[in-house]
Structure 1
Amino acid sequence: MTTIIAFILVFGLLVFVHELGHLIFAKRAGMLAREFAIGFGPKIFSWTKNETLYTIRLLPIGGYVRVAGEDPEIVELKPGHHIGLEFNHKQEVSKIIVNNKSKHPNSRVIEVERADLDHSLMIYGYEVGEEERLSFPVNEKAMYVMDETETQIAPYNRQFASKNKRQRAMQLFAGPLMNFLLAIFLFFVLALIQGIPADNAAVGTVQKDSPAEEAGLQSGDDITAINGTPVQTWEEFTAIVQDSPEEELQATIVRDGQEQQVPIIPALVESGDQKIGQIGVTLAMEKSFLGAIPYSFQQTYEFGTLILTNLGQLITGQLNINALSGPVGIYDATDQVVKTGLINLIQWTALLSVNLGIVNLVPLPALDGGRLLFIGVEALRGKPVEPQKEAVVHFIGFALLMLLMIVVTWNDIQRLFL
């Protein structure tokens, strides 16, 4: 149960932050954000605020922001269609009753001749049985009413396509950007809790009954050389130790300002297919509020670089597709992380956030990166790609992504349960 709750909270946070970025920049650009959804499938509960429907859905494996113009409009008023109209105090159409007009006895029923709800915001038509052509101005925030559900109309100036390239690109990039910012924040919190790694090879903790304890190493010791070879970083020190299992090493340390020589024999430990040396010490951590700021950016950058490297290896065939994990694999990894404590769970969440941000920027159809690519093509061509062609590309890309997800999930199931 703890793992399930942790998985839902971690995924929910990642999706919420990602979609919040899309929502904020959509609204800043003047786009009509119809829905902000966390999860997929049936709605658990929902509420409407400032033109946007906020929903929590049953399956906690994603989310979306539905912006006007990204999908075909919900209702198209065609010639001959009978609709009911309700008006505001300015005699502008405030509600368009699409069906069940009998439930709105005060509405004015007309037969549509033509309607332009994108630009001129006008409806032309005739009252039933009359020949006089009438025109009705429509309020820019008028509502369609279908099956007693109200949906706001979307004039062209509120649609995604009406905005300039910079606004559209920023709205798409904002989701991954928020994931990067979340990772930076989480690494900052971690740095405040546990400190940041020391710049030099300084000992933090010494494990009980370890080679380091037997040799007399203590917390705070600064290791400056091994077998006479100067050591400046922790990475240099650990590399020598790992390469020297069961070999005596002469460590030069500085303790309380005094230099000492300490002989250490690393224990032989099997790590996968390798046999390495370990002495049972950790790197010293330093508490620093100001130091935590660059550290959080550095960690985000390093994890991001690692993820990009793995993506490159996947594309070139150096990394097998079986190395990928879907929701099942991530759930299993989350289960293992939860058992190790809150600190590791926070770090795991930060890593997933960086991963989500980078993967969404991959220039594949249906992903944010794919849509950004189309805006880039538009900038080069001087005109946008035809919406129908772009929609087909995104549809094919989405289908292929779903197929990849099925394959990855099946591999996860085989690896974990079969």
Structure 2
Amino acid sequence: MMTLQVIVLTVLMFFIVVTVHEWGHYYFAKRAGILVREFAIGFGPKLFSYKRDETLFTLRMLPLGGYARMAGEDPELDPIQPGQTIAVRLADGGAVKKIYLDQLDNRRNVMIGEIEWIDLEDRMQLRLNVDGETQHLDVDRKADIVMRGQELQVAPKDRQFRSKSVGKRALAIFAGPLMNFVLAFVLFLIYVQVSGVPDENANAVKVSSIVPDSPAKAAGLQEGDIVNSIDGTAVGRDLQKVTSLIGAADGSEVEMNVTRGSESLNIPVTPKLTKQKDGSEVLQVGVGLGPITRHASIGESFAFAGDAFKSGSTAILDALRKLVFERFDINQLAGPVGTLQYTGEVASEGIDQMILWTAMVSINLGIFNLLPIPMLDGSRLIFLAIEAVRRRPIDPNKEGIVHFVGFALIFLLMIAVTYNDILRIINS
């Protein structure tokens, strides 16, 4: 059962990784002058929302991702047509500030009439027949259309996603994965500052964790103990040597010499056979070991973060390559349930491991979103590249169909992976 702390850390990890990704889209879209209608974390029903400036910020029920919805990114239906009766509210300067499409008789301080002509993209004007008299009205560039209790801000053509250059649109799309990579690098920097780097002058190893109900716990070993030797044999900085010496005892009691503070203690421990995930059994005492560390310099921190980012990205790309080109195995994939379970396990190991895991999840999200799969950022970048080559945009309706099919396939895969995750948990 996950503790409240583990649950909080897990939710916080999801929130940070997704928020940083969507903030990348949001920030660069705003810089390009694109109207961002909604900044959402999660999908499904809204749990919380507030509006700031032009954007509605929402927290939604299903923690499966998020989105920054930009005006004109997808085909938008214009709900107002000539011949339609509407109500408008004017600002002090005389421009239309609100356009009401329903409950017209209940609106106060409005002008009601029939639309003769309307342009809410280029000219931002409309002609309204009010009691047989035509009113020529300018529409405010930030006017709201109100229908069924919801407001939709009008989007002049120069505020729409598709009106911007290919370069600006590509940057707004690529910025999401880019921010995930930046976040991962920063988290690696934080991790090495929290955990330190191995001390080259040390001749021992450190107990980093104790397994509950283990021989080490029963014997009185504690986190932070410095292991100097086992049965008189010095272990030095070799973590593997500790495992070898314990295994060589063949189940007999071993004496571990440890330093705790200023004390030197000889603690007898009897290893026991422990079943591994692959079904094998190994003699263990139930401790997690790590190197003795020292504070990392700024240069060492950046070097570690660079190496960690490179090795983490390489490992994820290699796993994807094997999954696609060698053998597809659904057991190699983890959905929300599997990710939640593993995140809970990592969170219980301490904040430093949680930082490291969050960095890896952020890299994974960035790389995954750049895959050329319909609906993902990678696919959208490919469409933009095609547009740049052919020098004219692809039909938005056709592109929308491709993304819809991709969404449906990913959704089906997610269901299958989630089902497999649940079976794996039950069987284990």
TM-score under structure 2 length normalisation: 0.80
Q: Which secondary structure state, in structure 2, belongs to the residue aligned with residue 401 of structure 1?
A: helix
Does the 8 A contact of 1:31 with 1:68 survive in 2? yes
- Relative to 1, partners in 2 of residues 1:48 and 1:318: Cα closer, same or farther, differing over 3 Å? same
1:310 equivalent in structure 2: 319
2-structure distance, mates of 1:95, 1:361:
40
1:97 equivalent in structure 2: 100
Structure 1 residue 285 and structure 2 residue 302: aligned?
no
Flag structure 1 segments of 5+ consecutive residues without an equivalent: 223-233, 248-266
Q: CA deviation at 1:417?
A: 1.6
Structure 1 residue 365 and structure 2 residue 374: aligned?
yes
2:181 equivalent in structure 1: 180
2-structure distance, mates of 1:350, 1:411:
25
1-structure distance, mates of 2:188, 2:204:
20
Q: Which secondary structure state, in structure 2, belongs to the residue aligned with residue 110 of structure 1?
A: strand
1:402 equivalent in structure 2: 411
1:338 equivalent in structure 2: 347
Residue identity matched to 2:337: V
- Relative to 1, partners in 2 of residues 1:312 and 1:400: Cα closer, same or farther, differing over 3 Å? same
- Relative to 1, partners in 2 of residues 1:307 and 1:197: Cα closer, same or farther, differing over 3 Å? farther
Q: Which secondary structure state, in structure 1, belongs to the residue aligned with residue 373 of structure 2?
A: coil
Q: CA deviation at 1:50?
A: 1.4
- Relative to 1, partners in 2 of residues 1:185 and 1:377: Cα closer, same or farther, differing over 3 Å? same
Out of 200, 203, 213, which is 2:230 matched to?
213
2:11 equivalent in structure 1: 8
> RMSD value over aligned CA atoms?
3.1
Does the 8 A contact of 1:204 with 1:285 survive in 2? no
Q: CA deviation at 1:178?
A: 1.2
* Alignment of structure 1 residues 16-415 onto 2, 5 Å: 16-73=19-76, 75-128=78-131, 130=132, 133-197=134-198, 203=203, 205=205, 212-214=229-231, 216-217=233-234, 272=278, 282-290=290-298, 291-415=300-424
Does the 8 A contact of 2:88 with 2:111 survive in 1? yes
Q: CA deviation at 1:98?
A: 1.2
Q: CA deviation at 1:165?
A: 1.1
Q: CA deviation at 1:122?
A: 1.5
After superposition, what is the alpha-carbon deviation per residue over 1:284-332, rounded to whole angstroms, capped at 9, x for unaligned?
Answer: 4342231112211221121111001001111113351221000011111
Does the 8 A contact of 2:39 with 2:69 survive in 1? yes
Residue identity matched to 1:287: H
Question: Identity across aligned pairs (percent)?
Answer: 39
2:260 equivalent in structure 1: none
2-structure distance, mates of 1:296, 1:331:
25
1:251 equivalent in structure 2: none
Does the 8 A contact of 1:203 with 1:283 survive in 2? no
2-structure distance, mates of 1:274, 1:317:
27
Does the 8 A contact of 2:86 with 2:115 survive in 1? yes
Q: CA deviation at 1:273?
A: 8.1
After superposition, what is the alpha-carbon deviation per residue over 1:314-362, rounded to whole angstroms, capped at 9, x for unaligned?
Answer: 1113351221000011111112212222221111111111111110111
1-structure distance, mates of 2:198, 2:381:
37
Q: State the aligned residue count.
A: 378
- Relative to 1, partners in 2 of residues 1:273 and 1:150: Cα closer, same or farther, differing over 3 Å? closer
2-structure distance, mates of 1:316, 1:211:
47
Q: Which secondary structure state, in structure 2, belongs to the residue aligned with residue 385 of structure 1?
A: coil
2-structure distance, mates of 1:195, 1:210:
18
Does the 8 A contact of 2:128 with 2:134 survive in 1? yes
Q: CA deviation at 1:277?
A: 11
Q: Which secondary structure state, in structure 2, belongs to the residue aligned with residue 136 of structure 1?
A: strand
Q: Which secondary structure state, in structure 2, belongs to the residue aligned with residue 322 of structure 1?
A: helix
- Relative to 1, partners in 2 of residues 1:285 and 1:318: Cα closer, same or farther, differing over 3 Å? farther
2-structure distance, mates of 1:210, 1:287:
20
Does the 8 A contact of 1:337 with 1:344 survive in 2? yes
Residue identity matched to 1:344: Q
Q: Which secondary structure state, in structure 2, belongs to the residue aligned with residue 34 of structure 1?
A: strand
- Relative to 1, partners in 2 of residues 1:368 and 1:204: Cα closer, same or farther, differing over 3 Å? farther
1-structure distance, mates of 2:362, 2:204:
29
Q: Which secondary structure state, in structure 2, belongs to the residue aligned with residue 99 of structure 1?
A: coil
Residue identity matched to 1:363: P
